[in-house]
């Protein structure tokens, strides 16, 4: 008797979403199987990594994360160019953390100006993420949409509290939205339904079901992503058949474990290696849960994950 | 026919809560009258944990409701002193104790009260380790409860087993295992009755949409011989389903459960609501707050 490997049969497929400006688009999604189950279906577009750039100089990063960008850390446009030219970034994720009213409270105009500069400096697809303050993000992202008219940015987070205003603006200026929900599959589906009702086209939606860092609730986030993929591929739930983005770097690099020096916690080992590995492992986990876009920070963590994606895609 | 226990006289209610605390009979009696007129079979009197003077409150509440309604009462509190005060005050119609769980201290004190006051009792399948995880754990707990109650002299026909419903927006699998257990209960203990708190299923859903989930869920439970349900006594449609007045909707839902799916295009508005809700509750379609309109 010969042994046959049991196979899952899929009835659904993830939508293919083109990101970035015309002529330079990168396509994500398109899976017809669980992540890397290439023996059961297809993953026409391997997961992509977007490198983070911040709107202003970060103040609470550990040395490990600053070092690769020390020469450009005050200039977002130069920072983005370095990511693309030196580190081969496939996408840029501009984090508008400085717009947070509890941080630097940069205005919508300032944020839009920075976004425009970064967008002019690189031609890879660009994700622009606000500070997760519902009101402030509405103002900021509307301004961002306007100055980058037609460049098909990926803007977010678009949440239940501001999806109407941001969604409508995104439609007007032809951008893609990141639909964000707090670790809950039912809410994720609901927001996608609402965006559909608002007439945001299906090929303009990416979903962010939230990510925690390794050791900080990652398993809950993993489980929700996994269930989203199951509903999309097995139950043909068309309001969940969207590519998933995982905004993981900012979660990883704020944990105690990447910051505490070896002198204080010798058991944690070399501080540099530690941060890079926690970021790479968090990324690896969400890849297996179904993430299509990883927002990452450290070039060495990124090359580890890229290598892994390559191996998984070629079946090595 | 499903026996309907109206859940509305509840200390959590914005009007009834203050009335209970101030011992103001007006709003409570008004509500009891309406629920009785709507066709409830039992009135649940829920005073919550009632840590302070619970006995006084339950005694007063039973007497107050009794002045305006002859319906049997379901006494709902985790305070067993208050429970006993309610049982004492109740002078007509066999009362229902809501509830006794499988937690050892509750069993130990609750069971003797059932025999002493010749009450019916809700056997809540909540054990030492909390909620049962699947149909088999529910079955084991039901057997355990019935055995212990029988030992104390309570006939099985006085026991109303509550398998505990959990919200659809938490986990559809739990909904399915509750239904699966209901299909087993008749074999495990044919004389035992059953009761399900319907509103639990719709906890977390938008307020105006909750009745849709509660109604279809009750119909699904009816397929497995549901004896009684704790219901919103203002939901007249639900009450009419319970009284057997909507056989066509019951048939539709039961057909879907049997795998005979109708063509959605052939359904009218009301049927379509049942169709969509059944599919959500069966876990075929993932729940979202817009489940009725997608």
pLDDT value of residue B13: 95
Residues whose CB falls within 8 Å of the CB of residue B159, separated by 6 or more in sequence, listed in order: B120, B121, B123, B145, B146, B149, B189, B192, B193
Q: Which of A185, A194, A197 sits opposite B286 (nearest CB)?
A: A185
Number of independent structural domains in chain B: 1
For residue B121, give Cα distances in angstroms to A6, A64, B127, B192: 49, 64, 16, 11
Domain that holds residue A259: 16-314
Q: Do A193 and B294 touch (CB under 8 A)?
A: yes
pLDDT value of residue A316: 61
pLDDT value of residue B50: 87
What's the gap in Å between the CA of A228 and the closest CA on chain B? 9
Is residue B261 domain-resident? Answer: no
Is residue A157 domain-resident? Answer: yes
Specify the CATH number for the domain of residue B39.
Answer: 3.20.20.20
- B175-206 pLDDT, tens digit per residue, is 999 999 999 999 999 999 999 999 999 999 99
Q: Do A237 and B287 touch (CB under 8 A)?
A: no
Q: Do A186 and B294 touch (CB under 8 A)?
A: no
What's the gap in Å between the CA of A195 and the closest CA on chain B? 12
Contacting B with CB below 8 Å, chain A residues are: 185-187, 189-190, 193-194, 197, 231, 235, 237, 239-240
Is residue B135 domain-resident? Answer: yes
pLDDT value of residue A6: 87
Q: How large is the average pLDDT for residues B25-40?
A: 98
Other beta carbons less than 10 A from residue B156's beta carbon: 15
The phi, psi pair for B159, rounded to 5°, reads: -105, 125
DSSP, residue by residue, B98-161: EEEESSHHHHHHHHHHHHHTT-EEEEE--BTTBS--SHHHHHHHHHHHHHHHHHTT--GGGEEE
Indicate the pLDDT class of residue B284, thresholds 50, 70 and 90. very high
- Residues constituting chain B: 294
- A134-182 pLDDT, tens digit per residue, is 999 999 999 999 999 999 999 999 999 999 999 999 999 999 999 999 9
- B79-95 pLDDT, tens digit per residue, is 999 999 999 999 889 99
Q: Do B286 and A190 touch (CB under 8 A)?
A: no
Q: Which of B286, B290, B294 sits opposite A231 (nearest CB)?
A: B286
Q: Which of A185, A190, A237 sits opposite B290 (nearest CB)?
A: A190
In B, minimum Cα distance to A191 occurs at: B288
Number of independent structural domains in chain A: 1
Q: How large is the average pLDDT for residues B220-244?
A: 97
User: Could you give the residue ranges of the DSSP H alpha helices within chain A?
Assistant: 63-66, 76-85, 108-121, 134-147, 163-173, 185-197, 218-233, 249-252, 256-259, 271-289, 299-314
What's the gap in Å between the CA of A169 and the closest CA on chain B? 23
In which residue ranges of chain A is pLDDT below 50? Answer: none
Q: How large is the average pLDDT for residues B143-164?
A: 97
Interface A-B, measured as beta-carbon pairs within 8 A, has a size of: 27
Q: How large is the average pLDDT for residues B259-279?
A: 96
ipTM above 0.90, yes or no: no
Q: How large is the average pLDDT for residues B240-249?
A: 97
Q: What is the β-pairing status of strands A91-95 and A126-129?
A: parallel
Q: Is the pLDDT of residue B11 over 90?
A: yes
Contacting A with CB below 8 Å, chain B residues are: 169, 284-290, 294
What's the gap in Å between the CA of A152 and the closest CA on chain B? 28
Q: Which of B266, B270, B171, B181 is nearest to B221 (CA)?
A: B181
Q: Do B290 and A194 touch (CB under 8 A)?
A: yes
In A, minimum Cα distance to B170 occurs at: A186
pLDDT value of residue B278: 98
B288, B289, B292, B293: best to mutate for the A interface, most A CBs within 10 A: B288
Is residue B284 domain-resident? Answer: no
Is residue B246 domain-resident? Answer: no
3-state SS assignment for residue B231: strand
pLDDT value of residue A1: 76
Residues whose CB falls within 8 Å of the CB of residue A187, separated by 6 or more in sequence, listed in order: A160, A181, B288
Residues whose CB falls within 8 Å of the CB of residue A133, separated by 6 or more in sequence, listed in order: A99, A100, A101
Specify the CATH number for the domain of residue A28.
Answer: 3.20.20.20
pLDDT value of residue A38: 94
Q: Which of B94, B269, B281 is nearest to B193 (CA)?
A: B94
Buried b (16+ CB within 10 A) or exposed e, B162-174: bbbbbbbbbebeb
Per the prediction, chain B carries an average pLDDT of: 96
Share of chain B above pLDDT 70, in %: 100
Q: Do A186 and B288 touch (CB under 8 A)?
A: yes
Domain that holds residue B125: 3-237
Q: Do B169 and A240 touch (CB under 8 A)?
A: no
Q: Do B294 and A239 touch (CB under 8 A)?
A: yes
Is residue A9 domain-resident? Answer: no
Helix and strand tally (H, E) in chain A? 11, 10
Cis peptide preceding A37, ω within 30 of 0: no
Q: Which of B169, B284, B290 sits opposite A193 (nearest CB)?
A: B290
Q: Is the pLDDT of residue B35 over 90?
A: yes
Is residue B272 domain-resident? Answer: no
Q: Which of B169, B286, B289 sits opposite A237 (nearest CB)?
A: B286
Buried b (16+ CB within 10 A) or exposed e, A148-173: beebbbbbbbbbbebbebbbebbbeb
């Amino acid at each position: 008797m010969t042994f046959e490997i049991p196979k899952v049969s899929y009835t659904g497929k993830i939508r293919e979403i083109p990101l970035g400006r015309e002529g330079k688009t990168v396509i994500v999604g398109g899976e017809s199987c669980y992540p890397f189950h290439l023996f059961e279906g297809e993953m026409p577009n391997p997961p992509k990594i977007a490198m983070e750039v911040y709107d202003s100089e970060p103040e609470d990063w550990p040395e490990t994360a600053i070092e690769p960008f020390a020469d450009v850390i005050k200039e977002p446009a130069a920072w983005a160019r370095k990511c693309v030219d030196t580190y081969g970034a496939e996408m840029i994720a501009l984090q508008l953390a400085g717009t947070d009213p509890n941080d630097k409270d940069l205005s919508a105009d300032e944020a839009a100006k920075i976004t425009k500069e970064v967008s002019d400096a690189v031609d890879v697809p660009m994700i622009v993420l606000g500070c997760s303050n519902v009101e402030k993000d509405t103002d900021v992202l509307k301004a961002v949409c306007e100055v980058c008219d037609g460049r098909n940015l990926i803007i977010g987070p678009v949440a239940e509290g501001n999806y109407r205003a941001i969604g409508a603006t995104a439609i007007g200026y032809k951008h893609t939205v990141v639909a964000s929900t707090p670790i809950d599959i039912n809410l994720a589906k609901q927001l996608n339904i609402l965006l559909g009702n608002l007439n945001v086209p299906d090929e303009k939606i990416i979903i962010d079901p939230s990510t925690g860092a390794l050791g900080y609730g990652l398993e809950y986030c993993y489980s929700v992503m996994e269930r989203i993929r199951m509903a999309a591929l097995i139950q043909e739930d068309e309001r969940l058949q969207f590519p998933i983005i995982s905004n993981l770097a900012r979660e990883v690099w704020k944990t105690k474990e990447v910051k505490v020096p070896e002198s204080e916690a010798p058991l944690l080992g070399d501080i540099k290696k530690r941060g890079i590995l926690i970021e790479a492992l968090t990324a690896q986990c969400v890849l297996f849960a179904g993430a299509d876009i990883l927002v990452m920070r450290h070039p060495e963590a990124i090359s580890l994950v890229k290598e892994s994606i390559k191996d998984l895609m070629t079946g090595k | 026919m499903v026996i309907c226990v109206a859940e509305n006289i509840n200390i959590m209610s914005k009007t009834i809560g203050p009335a209970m605390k101030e011992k103001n009979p007006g709003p409570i009696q008004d509500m009891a009258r309406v629920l009785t007129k709507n066709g409830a079979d039992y009135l649940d009197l829920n005073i919550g944990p009632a840590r302070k003077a619970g006995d006084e409150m339950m005694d007063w509440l039973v007497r107050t409701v009794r002045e305006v309604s002859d319906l049997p009462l379901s006494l709902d509190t985790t305070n067993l002193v208050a429970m006993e005060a309610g049982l004492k005050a109740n002078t007509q119609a066999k009362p229902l104790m809501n509830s006794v769980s499988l937690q050892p201290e509750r069993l130990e004190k609750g069971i003797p009260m059932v025999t002493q006051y010749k009450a019916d009792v809700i056997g809540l399948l909540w054990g030492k380790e909390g909620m049962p995880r699947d149909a088999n754990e529910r079955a084991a707990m039901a057997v355990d409860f019935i055995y212990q109650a029988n030992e104390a002299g309570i006939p099985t026909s006085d026991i109303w087993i509550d398998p505990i419903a959990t919200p659809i927006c938490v986990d559809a699998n739990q909904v399915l295992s509750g239904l699966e257990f209901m299909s087993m209960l008749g074999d495990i203990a044919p004389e035992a009755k059953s009761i399900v708190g319907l509103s639990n299923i719709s906890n977390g859903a938008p307020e105006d949409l909750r009745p849709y989930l509660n109604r279809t869920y009750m119909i699904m439970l009816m397929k497995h011989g549901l004896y009684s349900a704790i219901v919103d006594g203002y939901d007249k449609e639900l009450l009419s389903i319970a009284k057997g007045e909507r056989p066509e909707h019951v048939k539709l839902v039961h057909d879907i459960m049997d795998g005979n799916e109708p063509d959605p295009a052939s359904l009218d508005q009301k049927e379509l609501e049942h169709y969509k809700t059944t599919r959500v509750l069966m876990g075929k379609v993932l729940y979202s707050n817009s489940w009725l309109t997608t």
